[in-house]
């Protein structure tokens, strides 16, 4: 036990090396820009002050979103998705996989779970002993099931999922803008040092290297940012982009797509004033998600939902999942799943 615990502690310590590397690079870039460029190289105060103000705005947003991504604890499924005591005892005693699946299906009927494994089985985590909510996956590094898991990122030493995906996208956005600000303001002094217009000083190395590092990081971050913005627009996670979620009617890579605006609102929220700040504004609880009309293009489905969607009326069953003027009831949704119907969302016409 002791060696295993020691190895686990060493592994956790080593996981912080990429984060330490990023912070060292950012710390050096701050020194190189503020001290070597603004203090020692820029000759006039108006330019120096304007550069410092612009730099610190993007530096603050970059660091804020980066550390929010790191310190936001991944959310795991609630206790509702655990097997009740009686069913859990039956499940653990049962050796036949078919019977175990019958137990899981019985419990899953009362849960907002509509995705299955590739073989059509209920998704169950043996490590965490929970029925996995839609879009939830087990992270072997974090040793837990993570709601709407996108991927485990070594650069933040954390799982990127429902609780911090907005912060992660903002971190990439402000990292790219931070690099743009550095390159745009440093380039004239980079050229002056390169062509020897400015004399060789201790600032030369820092200014030259700062431009190269910022340009290199910008290219790498921009490609990753573009990919994740595409995922946001499609309402997919990185896992779903490589392996389409499986519904009752089979795999559907666009199963959660409701059109660009609603897909973006699911990550950033429905109030635009919070979009650019790393504060919690995403929609939902991470346990259940609205699904589009299967076999219909997302944009067409978005138009249909806008025309036919309505809020739950008084006296009707509480919606299992609701949002963006879409609702479907637990009973009707489960009947569609079990009956193999083509609709994964029940849309009621306006009266």
Q: Give tens-digit pLDDT for 209-249.
A: 999 999 999 999 999 999 999 999 999 999 999 999 999 88
The count of residues in the chain is 351
pTM of the predicted structure, to 2 decimals: 0.82
User: Which residue out of 153, 159, 183, 320 is catalytically annotated?
Assistant: 153
> 248 in helix, strand or coil?
coil
Mean pLDDT of 263-287: 94
Give the per-residue pLDDT at 5: 76
**Contacts of residue 117, Cβ cutoff 8 Å, sequence gap at least 6:** 123, 246
At residue 120, what are phi and psi to the nearest 5 degrees?
A: 90, 5
Give the per-residue pLDDT at 4: 75
- Quick count: other Cβ atoms within 10 Å of Cβ 280? 13
Write the pLDDT tens digit of every residue in 302-335.
454 444 333 333 333 333 333 333 333 334 444 4
> 109 in helix, strand or coil?
coil
Q: Angle 45-71/17-31 helices, nearest 10 degrees?
A: 170
Write the pLDDT tens digit of every residue in 7-60.
888 888 899 999 999 999 999 999 999 999 999 999 999 999 999 999 999 999
Q: Give the confidence band of 298 by pLDDT, cuts at 50, 70, 90.
A: very low
From CA 36, how far away is CA 245, in angstroms rounded?
Answer: 51
The answer to whether residue 340 scores a pLDDT higher than 60 is no
Mean pLDDT of 115-144: 94
Write the pLDDT tens digit of every residue in 55-94.
999 999 999 999 999 999 999 999 999 999 999 999 999 8
From CA 116, how far away is CA 247, in angstroms rounded?
Answer: 6
Mean pLDDT of 250-263: 92
Whether 9 sits among the annotated catalytic residues: the reply is no
Write the pLDDT tens digit of every residue in 141-186.
999 999 999 999 999 999 999 999 999 999 999 999 999 999 999 9
Q: Give the confidence band of 351 by pLDDT, cuts at 50, 70, 90.
A: very low
More confident residue, 134 or 347: 134
Using alpha carbons only, how large is the chain's radius of gyration in Å?
Answer: 25
Give the per-residue pLDDT at 182: 97
Q: Which residue has the tokens 């043996």?
A: 126
Q: Any idea of the CA torsion for 209, 213, 218, 220, to the nearest 10 degrees? A: 150
Q: Which residue has the tokens 């992270």?
A: 139
Mean pLDDT of 108-126: 93
Q: Give the confidence band of 280 by pLDDT, cuts at 50, 70, 90.
A: very high
Nearest Cα residue to 233 out of 175, 302, 137: 302
Measured over the CA atoms of residue 255, residue 156, residue 281 and residue 259, the dihedral's sign is negative
Q: For residue 79, with 0-12 CB atoms within 10 Å meaning exposed, 13-18 middle and 19 or more buried, which class applies?
A: exposed
> Can you read off the two tokens belonging to residue 254?
């666009």
């Amino acid at each position: 036990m002791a060696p295993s615990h020691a190895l686990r502690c060493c592994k956790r310590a080593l996981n912080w090396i990429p984060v330490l590397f990023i912070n060292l690079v950012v710390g050096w870039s701050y020194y190189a820009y503020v001290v070597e460029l603004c203090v020692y190289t820029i000759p006039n105060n108006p330019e120096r002050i304007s550069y410092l103000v612009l730099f610190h705005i993007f530096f603050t947003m970059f660091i804020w979103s980066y550390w929010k991504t790191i310190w936001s604890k991944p959310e795991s499924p609630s206790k509702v998705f655990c097997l009740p005591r009686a069913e859990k005892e039956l499940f653990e005693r049962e050796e036949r996989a078919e019977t175990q699946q019958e137990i899981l299906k019985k419990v899953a009927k009362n849960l907002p779970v509509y995705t299955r494994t590739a073989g059509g089985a209920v998704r169950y985590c043996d490590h965490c002993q929970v029925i996995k909510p839609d879009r939830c996956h087990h992270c072997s590094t974090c040793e837990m099931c993570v709601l709407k898991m996108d991927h485990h990122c070594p650069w933040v030493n954390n799982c990127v999922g429902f609780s911090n995906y907005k912060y992660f996208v903002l971190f990439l956005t402000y990292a790219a803008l931070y690099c743009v600000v550095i390159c745009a303001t440093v380039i004239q002094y980079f050229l002056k040092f390169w062509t020897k217009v400015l004399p060789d000083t201790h600032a030369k190395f820092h200014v030259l290297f700062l431009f190269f590092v910022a340009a290199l990081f910008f290219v790498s971050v921009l490609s990753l940012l573009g990919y994740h913005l595409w995922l946001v627009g499609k309402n997919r996670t990185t896992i779903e982009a490589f392996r389409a979620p499986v519904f009752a009617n089979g795999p559907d890579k666009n199963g959660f797509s409701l059109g660009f605006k609603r897909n973006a609102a699911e990550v950033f929220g429905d109030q635009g004033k919070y979009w650019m700040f790393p504060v919690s504004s995403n929609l939902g609880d991470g346990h259940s998600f609205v699904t589009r009309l299967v076999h219909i293009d997302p944009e067409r489905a978005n138009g249909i939902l806008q025309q036919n969607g309505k809020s739950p009326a008084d006296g009707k069953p509480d919606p299992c999942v609701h949002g963006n003027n879409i609702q479907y009831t637990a009973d009707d949704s489960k009947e569609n799943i079990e009956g193999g119907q083509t609709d994964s969302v029940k849309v009621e016409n306006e009266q």
